[in-house]
Chain A
Amino acid sequence: MQLNTRLGKYGGCFVPETLMGALEELELAYLNILPDPKFQEELSEYLTSYAGRETPLTLCKNMSRDLGCKVYLKREDLLHSGAHKLNNALGQALLAKHMGKKRLIAETGAGQHGVATAIAGAVLGLEVEVFMGEVDIARQALNVARMNMMGARVIPVTSGTKTLKDAMNEALRDWVARVGDTHYLIGTVAGPHPYPTLVRDLQRIIGDETRRQIMVAEGKLPDVIVACIGGGSNAIGIFHAFIDDKNVRLYGAEAGGEGLDKRHGASLCGGRPGVLHGNYSYLMQDSFGQIIESHSVSAGLDYPGVGPEHAMHKDSGRVTYHAVTDTEALEAFLYLSRTEGIVPALESSHAVALARKIAPELSKDSVMIINLSGRGDKDVETVIRYMEEKA
C-alpha cells in the first residue's frame, strides 16, 4: 500500500491474502482516477443533474420553537433514492467503471445502500448483485422490490445472524472468488483500507455543502451537529468539514437497542477495539473475541462494528457518542413527522432523538444541525407495529 492504512491507531487491511491485490488496485484508482478533474466533473454532473444535489439545509421553525434553539436539517432524505448512500454508490460505481470492472457487489442492511448501488449500476450500465440477510429482507421488503425493479439481483444471506454483518461476510467471500471483474462497493466508512477514506471522501460533500449553507443562513458556524452512526458514513460525511473547528460540537447517535445492558448495536458506547471485516475498530464481542449479535429496530444501524475514523474520534474526544434506544428513536420518528411533516428513516430518527436530549443545554441563539440521512418510507410498517403495540 502507498498510503498509511491507519486512522490514528485504527483501520488497517485485515483481509485474506487473495484480496490484497484488489485493494492495491483500488488504492491506485483512489490516488490516480478519483482526483482527476475530468472524473470529478463527470461525478459532479451525476450528483447534480441526476441525484439532485445540493440538498437543502432546512430551518425547522416548529422544532426550533419546541426545543428552544435554532434547528436545521441537512436534507439527505431528499437525495434521489431517499438517502445519503447514493453519494458513495455513484462515486464508487463510476470509479469501478473507469477501472474496467463489469460487476458491482454490495452488502446492505436496511436496503438503502443496496438501492443506491442498484441505481448506480442501472445508470452506469454495470451488473449488480446485492447481499442481504434474510432477516433484513423480511423487514425491508419495499427496498428489496426496488432493487429488483432496477435490475439488481438480491442474494439472500442465510449464514450467521442473517443481517448486515453476515451480508458483508458473504460479499467479501464473493469478492475473493471474483476479484478480476468485480468491484466490491462497500456502503460505509468501514472495511479494509482504502474504503474508510474513499467512502469518507465521497460523503464529505454533505459537510462541505452544509458549511457553505449555514454560513449563508446564519453567517456563522453551527454550535452542534448531530448524526446517527451505524458504520458511520453519513456522520463522517457531515463531520469531516468541521473537524478542525473546535467550537463546533459533534455528536454521534448509536443504536442503543433495548438498552446498553441488553441487546443493542452500539459498538463505540458498549464495545471494545478488535478486528472485523478488514479493519481494527470498536466491536461488540465476547471476552474471547467472538462477535456478538447486534440489535436495533433500524436495520441500517444493526451492525456490531463501526468505521475506524469514529474509533479515532471517540478516543480523542473530538466527537461525543451516545446510545439512543429503539423506543427513543421510534418516538423521534413520530415527533419529526408530526412537528415538521418530514418522515425520517429510523436510522436518522436516532439523530433526531439525540438532538432532543442535547437541546436543553443550548441557548435560544444556538444553532444545531441534524443530518437527516434518509427518509422513512421504508420504515412505515415497523412504526405502525410499534404504534399498535403501544396502543
Chain B
Amino acid sequence: MNRLQNAFDNRKRELLMTFIVAGDPDYATSLDIMRTLEEGGADIIELGLPFSDPVADGPVIQQADHRALSAGMNTDRFFSLVRDFRKSSDIPLVVLTYTNLVLQRNIDNFYQDAADAGIDAVVIADLPFEEAGPYIAAAETAGISPVMMVSTTTSKERLSGILKVNSGFIYLVAALGVTGVRQTTDQNARKLLAELKSLTKIPIAPGFGISDHTQVQEWGDAGADAVIVGSALVKKIGEYYTRQDLLIKEITVFVENLKNQT
C-alpha cells in the first residue's frame, strides 16, 4: 500500500534517492529522465515542483527551476507529469517544493491532488515545524507522508517537536547553506545522524551537497536509510539538455555509478 514505507522496510542497504526538477528541461524529456533514473537503479525519485524564488537552492537548481518554468511547468502540469509516469512505475515519489505553491492551490486540494496523482511524500523547503500544522493535517487526510527537515542548527526543543510528526522520513540537511555540490562532509551533520538514529525509528535521509558514490557510501555506512543526490544530477541535465542524444546516456552512467556503491 505505502510505496515509501515498503521501500524502507525491505531495504538491504541505504536507498538511493535522486532529485530532479520536474519539467527540466521540458515535460517529455523530464519523463524520459525519470524512467532512466528508475532503470539505472534509483530507489526513490524526488521531484522538485519549481518555484520562482527558491531560497533554499543554489545556482544549479535555480537554473533548473528557471528552465522548467520557462518551458511551461506549473502545478497542473506537474500532477499530469506524475500521473503519466505512474502509468508504468511503482517507484516511491517524493515532491520537494515551496510553501506558496501548496498554499495557492489550497492546502487540502494540493495534498489530495498529489495523492490522486501517485505522490507518496511531500517536503516543503521553507516550511518549518512551527508553520506546518495545517500541512501535516492535510497530508495525513490525503494519505501522504509529510517530511520534516532537521539541520545541525535545529535546537533540542524544536527537534523533540519535529520527531513527534509522523514523517515518511526525516530530511537531514547535511550541509549548512543552499543546495549544491560540496567536496567535504560536515562532521556535525554526521554526528546529528547518529543522534537522530538513537532518538527515532523514522528513516533518515541526508541531502544537500552529496554528489558522488563515495559520499553516498559514507553516509550509508554511517547509518543513513536513504541518501539524496540532487545538484550533481541536475548539473548533468544542465550540461547536456541541448544534446538529447547524449543526455539519457549521461544520466544512465551517472545513476549507475551512484548505485553500484549502494
A274 to B104, Cβ gap below 8 A?
Answer: yes
B residues within 8 A CB of A21? Answer: 153-155
A residues within 8 A CB of B153? Answer: 17-22, 179
B105 at the interface (CB under 8 A from A): yes
CB A304 to nearest CB in B, in angstroms, measures 9
Nearest-CB residue, chain A, relative to B127: A14
B residues within 8 A CB of A274? Answer: 100, 103-104
A285 to B128, Cβ gap below 8 A?
Answer: no
**Would you list 15 pairs from A and B whose C-beta atoms are within 8 A, ordered by A residue?**
A1-B130, A15-B126, A17-B150, A18-B177, A20-B130, A20-B155, A21-B154, A159-B59, A166-B53, A177-B176, A178-B176, A179-B176, A276-B100, A277-B55, A288-B101
A291 and B103 CA atoms in complex are apart in Å by 13
Nearest-CB residue, chain A, relative to B128: A20
A18 to B126, Cβ gap below 8 A?
Answer: no
**Other A-B pairs beyond A179-B176, A275-B126, 10, CB < 8 Å:** A13-B130, A14-B128, A15-B55, A20-B154, A20-B158, A24-B155, A165-B53, A276-B100, A288-B104, A290-B101
A151 and B24 CA atoms in complex are apart in Å by 41
Digitize B148-183: 1 where CB-to-A-CB distance is under 8 Å, 0 elsewhere: 111101110010000000000000010011100000
A9 at the interface (CB under 8 A from B): no
Nearest-CB residue, chain B, relative to A173: B178
B residues within 8 A CB of A214? Answer: none
Digitize B59-86: 1 where CB-to-A-CB distance is under 8 Å, 0 elsewhere: 1001000000100001110000000000
A13 to B128, Cβ gap below 8 A?
Answer: yes
B residues within 8 A CB of A277? Answer: 53, 55
A362 at the interface (CB under 8 A from B): no
B10 at the interface (CB under 8 A from A): no
A169 and B62 CA atoms in complex are apart in Å by 11
B126 to A16, Cβ gap below 8 A?
Answer: yes
Digitize A96-112: 1 where CB-to-B-CB distance is under 8 Å, 0 elsewhere: 00000000000000000
Tell me the B94-108 residues at the A interface (CB within 8 Å). 98-101, 103-105
Count of chain B residues with a beta carbon within 8 Å of a chain A beta carbon: 39
CB B228 to nearest CB in A, in angstroms, measures 14
Given known contacts A5-B130, A20-B154, A290-B69, A275 and B100 CB-to-CB distance under 8 angstroms: yes
A160 at the interface (CB under 8 A from B): yes
B126 to A278, Cβ gap below 8 A?
Answer: yes
B52 to A160, Cβ gap below 8 A?
Answer: yes
A362 and B56 CA atoms in complex are apart in Å by 49
Digitize A289-311: 1 where CB-to-B-CB distance is under 8 Å, 0 elsewhere: 11100000000000000000000
A12 to B74, Cβ gap below 8 A?
Answer: no
B178 to A287, Cβ gap below 8 A?
Answer: no
A17 and B192 CA atoms in complex are apart in Å by 14
A288 to B173, Cβ gap below 8 A?
Answer: no
Partner of B151, one of A12, A14, A18, A173: A18
CB A320 to nearest CB in B, in angstroms, measures 27
Tell me the A91-148 residues at the B interface (CB within 8 Å). none
Partner of A285, one of B56, B100, B130, B155: B100
A17 to B178, Cβ gap below 8 A?
Answer: no
A260 at the interface (CB under 8 A from B): no
A169 and B55 CA atoms in complex are apart in Å by 5
B residues within 8 A CB of A288? Answer: 74-76, 101, 104-105
B residues within 8 A CB of A24? Answer: 155
CB B207 to nearest CB in A, in angstroms, measures 12
Tell me the A242-290 residues at the B interface (CB within 8 Å). 274-278, 283, 285, 287-290
Partner of B154, one of A17, A287, A291: A17
A residues within 8 A CB of B154? Answer: 17, 20-21
A22 and B154 CA atoms in complex are apart in Å by 10
Nearest-CB residue, chain A, relative to B58: A173
B51 to A173, Cβ gap below 8 A?
Answer: no
B104 to A289, Cβ gap below 8 A?
Answer: yes
CB A286 to nearest CB in B, in angstroms, measures 8
Tell me the A1-40 residues at the B interface (CB within 8 Å). 1, 5, 12-22, 24
B residues within 8 A CB of A13? Answer: 128, 130-131
A residues within 8 A CB of B58? Answer: 173
